[in-house]
Chains A and B, each alone.
Chain A
């Protein structure tokens, strides 16, 4: 009997001492948490994508709460509703977010271009790119191994016919794929754009023609015919200045290789909703 009492008492006393020490420690060394910060953090989607320019959602919430950051619209994945919630927490007026989407500037799938080797190395675009510029006969095109697929937090990218495709309804415009692509084929644009150049080949027309029937051959038809001079030639490749574009669709109609394509991201967004 005595043994049991002693056992119970000693375990209880040890437990109590531990509890008291922990209680004191948690009081003395409590880390002050800004209430606003945790509220803002609740509003954010928590994908930690870094599109806001901060190290994850925690970083953005901390910057907003401390007043370092005043723009509530930087969370692109969260879009308008998140911006409105953050604005409500901070007590400022809500602004609209322009949704963004990732655009892949290559449509050189297996129908229009060829592989120049049978690559069996490390399973990553970055590694393949280091090996003679990758598998494709076009040195600028999509390698199709899918570094972008691996980093996409929304599973919005898939590999079809040997190149990456973005499902714009799932894309949140975080730009992680743009950073992962070793060929720099992906850019993040406002989803209001209506045309896109789906080629990144800077070679002269004849060379481009040899490796891909879809590529930009630098004919300058679009440059000459654009009513607002929004298209320029950047080293044998058409480049659209979206700040000038009036969405007339002339370039899309005229392009002989079909490399300038119509884009309807807004439509995709609306459909999703």
Chain B
């Protein structure tokens, strides 16, 4: 496990395997909270935090509890349980210490509970048989990728707001078209990271 391998994992999480734009996980907050840059950043930071925390908890559970006892089939149930509890914890902490962010996130924070991007990251960590540190880097990279997608799309939506699309495209349709184009552009990163670090 070299330093280079970690950087490759991090960068491919952000660019090549971007969860929102390449694997189409976590679309709900991507469309729901990307209207304003401020809320988008808040939500992304919460997701990064939850992804890291979820990985730090689920990896040991899988490695030391489920696999040795042949309980791999419980993976999904246990992971959802743990992630739900973690999100609740984050909610309580935010309510106490950062009430402004708590109000800004509103209904989207509980939505992280069942956010497939978070569950996807934790399961991908196991599937790719990462070590603990690698898993953490993958979580961080995926979180940053989510952040990048959110911030980029918040900017795109800001432009859409002040444009004048045809009547039938107004609102969600033009947003989805823009999301598709943004997603297409991320396919350009195919192979970039691998070739960069050869």
Tell me the nearest residue of chain B to A19, going by C-beta.
Answer: B85
Contact A122 B162 (CB under 8 A): yes
Tell me the nearest residue of chain A to B96, going by C-beta.
Answer: A29
**Which size class do B's interface residues fall under?**
20 to 34
Complex CA distance for A158 and B95, rounded to whole angstroms: 40
Q: Is B124 an interface residue (CB 8 A)?
A: no
Contact B89 A25 (CB under 8 A): yes
Number of CB contacts from chain A to chain B under 8 A: 48
Point out the residues of chain B lying under 8 angstroms from A30, CB to CB: 96
Query: Which residue in B70, B78, B99, B164 is a CB contact (below 8 Å) of A123?
Result: B164
Query: With A18-B82, A21-B85, A121-B164 given, is the CB distance from A10 to B92 under 8 Å?
Result: no
Q: Is A22 an interface residue (CB 8 A)?
A: yes
Contact B77 A11 (CB under 8 A): yes
Point out the residues of chain A lying under 8 angstroms from B81, CB to CB: 11, 14-15, 18
Contact B89 A6 (CB under 8 A): no
Complex CA distance for A21 and B70, rounded to whole angstroms: 27
Query: Which residue in B69, B70, B85, B99 is a CB contact (below 8 Å) of A18?
Result: B85
Query: With A18-B82, A122-B164, A123-B164 given, is the CB distance from A7 to B71 under 8 Å?
Result: yes
Query: With A3-B70, A11-B78, A11-B81 given, is the CB distance from A25 to B65 under 8 Å?
Result: no
Contact B92 A29 (CB under 8 A): yes
The interface residues of chain A, by DSSP majority, are classed as helix
Query: With A10-B65, A14-B61, A123-B164 given, is the CB distance from A22 to B71 under 8 Å?
Result: no
Tell me the nearest residue of chain A to B97, going by C-beta.
Answer: A29
Q: Is B184 an interface residue (CB 8 A)?
A: no
Tell me the nearest residue of chain A to B84, going by C-beta.
Answer: A18
Complex CA distance for A26 and B99, rounded to whole angstroms: 15
Interface residues of A in 1-28 (CB under 8 A from B): 3, 6-7, 10-11, 14-15, 18-19, 21-22, 25-26
Point out the residues of chain B lying under 8 angstroms from A11, CB to CB: 74, 77-78, 81
Complex CA distance for A122 and B170, rounded to whole angstroms: 12
Tell me the nearest residue of chain B to A58, going by C-beta.
Answer: B103
Query: Which residue in A22, A31, A122 is a CB contact (below 8 Å) of B85?
Result: A22
Residue among B71, B92, B99 with most chain A CB within 10 A? B92
Point out the residues of chain B lying under 8 angstroms from A31, CB to CB: 95-96, 99
25 contacts between A and B (CB under 8 A): A3-B70, A3-B71, A6-B69, A6-B71, A10-B74, A10-B78, A11-B78, A11-B81, A14-B61, A15-B81, A18-B82, A21-B85, A21-B89, A22-B89, A22-B92, A25-B89, A25-B92, A25-B93, A29-B92, A29-B93, A29-B96, A31-B95, A31-B99, A121-B164, A122-B164
Point out the residues of chain A lying under 8 angstroms from B99, CB to CB: 31
Point out the residues of chain A lying under 8 angstroms from B82, CB to CB: 14, 18
Min C-beta distance of A14 to chain B, whole Å: 6
Contact A10 B71 (CB under 8 A): yes
Point out the residues of chain A lying under 8 angstroms from B71, CB to CB: 3, 6-7, 10
Complex CA distance for A22 and B85, rounded to whole angstroms: 7
Q: Is B88 an interface residue (CB 8 A)?
A: yes
Complex CA distance for A30 and B95, rounded to whole angstroms: 9
Point out the residues of chain B lying under 8 angstroms from A15, CB to CB: 81
Tell me the nearest residue of chain B to A22, going by C-beta.
Answer: B88
Min C-beta distance of B73 to chain A, whole Å: 8
Point out the residues of chain B lying under 8 angstroms from A26, CB to CB: 92
Complex CA distance for A57 and B125, rounded to whole angstroms: 46
What are the interface flags for A199-232 relative to B under an 8 Å C-beta threshold, 1 for contact and 0 otherwise? 0000000000000000000000000000000000
Min C-beta distance of A17 to chain B, whole Å: 8
Residue among B66, B89, B93 with most chain A CB within 10 A? B89
Tell me the nearest residue of chain B to A18, going by C-beta.
Answer: B85
Complex CA distance for A195 and B103, rounded to whole angstroms: 44
Point out the residues of chain B lying under 8 angstroms from A10, CB to CB: 65-66, 69, 71, 74, 78
